[in-house]
Amino acid sequence: MGKCKKRTLHKSNSSYFMTREMAVNNILNMVQNVSRKDFDLKEAVDTISLFGISAEELSEAGVPYEYLKAFGSSIN
C-alpha cells in the first residue's frame, strides 16, 4: 500500500479505520455468511482492490477455492 493511501486511511474517522488483517478477516466473514441475503460481492471486491489482497492471503485465511475463483481477476 502506498504512503498516500496509508495516510488517508489513518487520517480518516476512527470508525472507518481498517488494517490489512481486518480487511482479510472481513472478507472471510462475508464469504462465511454467504447464505445471508446481505452478502455483497461488490463490497468484497472493493475491499480486495483497495488493499491489494492476493489470492494466497485469502486462501491462508480460509476462503474456499470456489470463492477465490468467483472473485475472478479482481485478485492477484
Any domain includes 40: yes
Is 8 within the bounds of a domain? no
Domain count, the chain: 1
Q: Give a yes or no: residue 57 inside a domain.
A: yes
Q: Are 70 and 37 in contact (CB under 8 A)?
A: no
pLDDT digits (tens, 9 = 90+) for 21-30: 999 998 888 8
Q: Is residue 14 part of a domain?
A: no
> Is residue 67 one of the residues assigned to a domain?
yes
Spatial distance between the Cα atoms of 31 and 25, rounded to a whole number of angstroms: 10
Read off the pLDDT of residues 63-74 as tens digits, 9 standing for 90 and up. 888 888 887 777
Whether residue 61 lies inside any domain: the answer is yes
Q: pLDDT confidence of 38, banded at 50, 70, 90?
A: low
Structural domain range at position 42: 20-74
pTM, to two decimals: 0.69
